[in-house]
Amino acid sequence: MTLPLIVVTGAGGFIGGHLVAEFRRRGGCRVRAVDIREPHDWYQRFPDVENLQLDLRLREACRQACEGATDVYQLAADMGGMGFIETHKVECMLSVLINTHMLMAAQEHRVKRFFYSSSACAYNVELQRSAKVTPLKESDAYPAMPEDGYGWEKLFSERMCRHFAEDFGMYVRVARFHNVYGPFGTWDGGREKAPAAICRKVIEAKETGRHEIDIWGDGQQTRSFMYIDDCIRGIQLIMEGAVDEPINLGSSEIVTINQLVSIAERFADLRLERRYDLSAPKGVNGRNSDNTLIRAKLGWEPSIPLERGLRETYDWILGRYRARRAGERVTV
């Protein structure tokens, strides 16, 4: 009997790499990993997986990716942390080509199930002006006023998923990710998100002896951060569950950026002089995930404490940082 073929796009990236690793661990399927980068530049690469380098902005590449697939996990996008998405709006919005062509290819090849990774950036920014934010529930995406560029692309692609389900009867699931972090992800170079950036900055301060840290904004911005293990578990539950509408996938443990820095400082056993750059991109003032719907639908929600997950992330980045300083080639 032929095993089902699972396709993971964006597999050379952070979440996609962990998702491929999980399918390998579980077994009982074939895995096709797809990314625009050459496989030797992927964060995680496995020799027993079909690894394809494809530009999924192109429709023919999406057809190739979906051929013979049972399930598709569409994580491919041109994105990064706030420093990237606020200054690369065109690149972020062009990701709409990826999701549109992947939906078309999945429908053409009669893929049984399709998962799309959306983002909390799809939420109305007017509800996120205060650091004392009310947790965002799924209906807060409308009236629509998402983050410019990246957020609009995510919201539009959610609607494409909805209409493919309505018009063609496709099995589609959509999760709005809230700030996923963990090992084997971007930690330097401008696309990294806050947890990785803070860990790297604290590590660099300790390793170089320059006990200071630059913080974007005033440090009072609030966020919730979800560890990668919770994210992978949530993706599986959402894909398998009766959730036919976009749903939050994020931790409800809210912290300020200053508190995030303090946690990383404890790992390094030092206190840093904090320098606040009020002109730097900082995103919305407050964002947190309302998990009422995911608890009701799936009887589960992300629960790994930030301090535990950040410790794993810090230690992994420390190893990568020291390897790079020693002259090794590392993926950042």
**Are 86 and 21 a contacting pair, CB within 8 Å?**
no
Distance, in Å, from the CA atom of 216 to the CA atom of 304, rounded to the nearest integer, reads 26
Torsion angle of C-alpha atoms 97, 63, 180, 279, degrees rounded to 10: -20
Question: How many CB atoms are located within 10 Å of the residue 290 CB?
Answer: 17
**What is the pairing mode between strands 254-256 and 222-224?**
antiparallel
Is the dihedral angle over the CA atoms 278, 279, 280, 282 positive or is it negative? positive
Catalytic residue among 73, 150, 314, 321: 150
Has 227 been annotated as catalytic? no
Any bridge partners for residue 278, and if so which?
none
Residue type at 157 in one-letter notation: S
- Three-state DSSP class for residue 210: coil
Annotated catalytic residues are 150
